[in-house]
Amino acid sequence: MVGHISDFGLAKILSGDKPNFSTNESSSVGLRGTIGYAPPEYGMGSELSTNGDVYSYGILLLEMLTGKRPTNERFTEGLSLHNFVKTALPDRVVEIIDPILLQESVRGGIVADITLNENNLGNDIRLQCLIAIFEIGLTCSTESPSERMDMSNVITKLCSIREKFLRPTRLRRGV
């Protein structure tokens, strides 16, 4: 019940009674992937696809930022990790972020502390970047495969977020 990168659309159930199976055959027996990370369409018999991988990536992003697994006991009766994040953004983002990400950290001799003061949330570059990453996770983990973000767009957005995050650091150092 722990997601691994290799779970993203690669897991297949192979029949032991078929000695000469083809590697590009997919099994129709059981669910492919890890529960919580496998996209909803796989449960309805859809073929493995890159859109399924995007879904799993989105769930993994949300898990890393919230510190909650998609199989958390809290997510029952229609509540999912995706919906949990969606209802909290952007105004209640501090309530859903993994507390470890809010703790004081030291990088390159500069102490950074994300404040919990709601008046400063909009001005905190780190929270703005975290919200943007949450939004990528949400877009990747939408129920409809056609509405999911393409991974090339994910990379572009993540690079843009990284530049935005690092820009103030460079300016402070005079770079």
Task: Tell me how many domains the chain contains.
Answer: 1
Whole-number Å distance between alpha carbons of 149 and 152? 8
- In-domain check, residue 17: no
> What average pLDDT score do residues 154-167 get?
92
- Which H or E element spans position 131? helix 125-140
Rounded Cα gap, residues 103 and 85, in angstroms: 20
64 within some domain: yes
Q: Would you say 113 and 94 are in contact if contact means Cβ atoms under 8 Å apart?
A: no
pLDDT of residue 37: 84
Q: What is the pLDDT of residue 119?
A: 46
- Distance in angstroms (rounded) separating the CA atoms of residues 160 and 162: 5
Which domain range does residue 62 map to? Answer: 5-12+26-173
Domain assignment present for 20? no
Q: Is the pLDDT of residue 7 over 60?
A: no
User: Quick one: pLDDT at residue 168?
Assistant: 58
Look at residue 49 and tell me if it is in a domain: yes
Q: Band of the pLDDT at 28, cuts 50, 70, 90?
A: very low
pTM here?
Answer: 0.72
Tens-place pLDDT, residues 33-78: 678 888 888 878 778 788 988 999 999 999 999 999 998 888 888 7
Q: In which band, very low, low, confident or very high, does the pLDDT at 142 lie, cut at 50, 70 and 90? A: very high
Q: Decide: helix, strand or coil at residue 120.
A: helix
Residue identified by tokens 């990370």 is 37
At 80-121, the pLDDT tens digits run: 999 999 999 988 998 999 988 777 444 444 444 444 444 455
21 within domain boundaries: no
Considering the domain boundaries, does residue 90 fall inside one? yes
For residue 18, being part of any structural domain is answered with no
* In the block, residue with structure tokens 């990528």: 136
CATH number for the domain including 114? 1.10.510.10
Evaluate whether residue 47 is within a structural domain.
Answer: yes
